[in-house]
Amino acid sequence: MKNTFFAFALLLFISSISSCVVLSPKKYKALLGTKDSLYTAFNEGLIKIENLEKEVGKLKKDTTLMAEELRDLQKNYNEMDASYKKLKNNSSSEITKLSGDLAAREKRLKEVEEVLRKRDEATNALKEKLQQALLGFTKSGLTVEIKNGKVYVSLTDKLLFPSGSIIIDEKGKQALTQLANVLKQQPEINIAVEGHTDNQKINNLGQIKDNWDLSVLRATSVVRYLTENEKVESVRMTATGKGEFQPLGTNANADGRSKNRRIEIVLSPKLDELYNLIK
């Protein structure tokens, strides 16, 4: 294209020169001016063409790069879309599974709450029965109360034993007999007998060496009376000695020490049903 344009301009110039033989000097100068203008325009045209060709090359290169970027973006989009669809499907199944788990747990929670409600009702009913059965011994230091879902029957040592003894006296046997009558009607109740003492040192008690011995032997005497004499099932019974280490009052005075010397019979419902629910 450049050569064609240049040839055309040159031909025009030669034709003009050839005709200058008959032209006046003024027209000849004008023609030379036209030639210079054409030459300048021609050079400027060549520069513009060169710049345009560079621009076209740059645009082609940019277009190629953009096409590659577009392919990469399309590929990434396809991968992300596939991942999203997979995640969506997995999420749906996970949500369904989670909903099922929550429903099952809610059902189990309601069942546990129902068992605990029944336990509390049974515990309160047992307390009422014991209070009625042992009403005649409350002035002798017997109390019945509920703590942590269990019924505690507390008997001071003076109600059960002579001073320093592990042999239950007659008044104590009467109280235990009344207690046994209620316990035998409640086969679902476990029975723990705990012996407690004050912190006074044991003196001249023969085989009883210290407060540990005294608390254990007194608890064992109560268990033995309930099982052997009153026929309460042995499998429901346990005997433990707490010594002086769970006092109710101060050991600094006689009243406090009297509260601390006691037998506590702890009655707790069997929770097999509850344990099965929470496994």
Range of weakest confidence among 9-18, 78-87, 201-210, 230-239: 9-18
Neighbours of 21 (CB within 10 A): 7
Report the pLDDT averaged over residues 216-242.
97
pLDDT tens track for 126-138: 889 898 988 888 8
274: pLDDT strictly greater than 80 = no
8 A C-beta contact, residue 269 and residue 189 = yes
Spell 258-274 as b/e; 16+ CB within 10 A means b: bbbbbbbbbbbbebeeb
Measure the CA dihedral 248/250/251/256, to 10°: -70
pLDDT band at 20 (very low <50, low <70, confident <90, very high): very low
Residue 103 lies in a domain: no
| Enclosing domain of residue 13 | 2-70
- The C-alpha atoms of residue 45 and residue 5 are separated, in whole angstroms, by 10
Pairing of strands 237-243, 189-196: parallel
Residue 142 shares a structural domain with residue 273? yes
Assigned domain for 118 exists: no
Our count of domains for the chain comes to 2
- The average confidence (pLDDT) of the chain is 83
Instruction: Band the pLDDT of 148: cuts 50, 70, 90.
Output: confident
The least confident of 23-37, 64-78, 198-212, 238-252 is: 23-37
Say if 85 falls within a structural domain: no
168 and 61 in a single domain? The answer is no
Last-in-domain residue among 18, 48, 70: 70
Is 104 inside any structural domain?
A: no
Confidence of residue 11 (pLDDT cuts 50, 70, 90): low
Helix axes 2-18, 25-133, angle to 10 degrees: 160
The answer to the question of residue 58 being in a domain is yes
Q: Residue 81 domain-assigned? A: no
Residues 147 and 50 in one domain: no
| CA-angle at 136, arms to 134 and 142, nearest 5° | 60
Residue type, 79: E
Q: Are residues 188 and 52 in the same domain?
A: no
Tokens found for residue 146: 């509920």
What is the pLDDT confidence band of residue 271, given thresholds at 50, 70 and 90?
low
Mean pLDDT of the 142-166 span: 91
**Quick check: is 27 in a domain?**
yes
CB 202 within 8 A of CB 211: yes
Domain-terminating residue out of 24, 45, 70: 70
- Does 186 share its domain with 271? yes
Structure tokens at 126: 């047992």
CATH of the domain at 197: 3.30.1330.60
- DSSP H/E element including 194: strand 189-196
What pLDDT shows up at residue 205?
74
212 occurs within a structural domain: yes
* pLDDT (average), residues 122-150: 88
Looking at the structure, tell me whether residues 146 and 247 fall in a common domain. Answer: yes
In terms of domains, do 138 and 223 share one? yes
Q: Examine the pLDDT at 139 and tell me if it is beyond 80.
A: yes
pLDDT at 172: 94
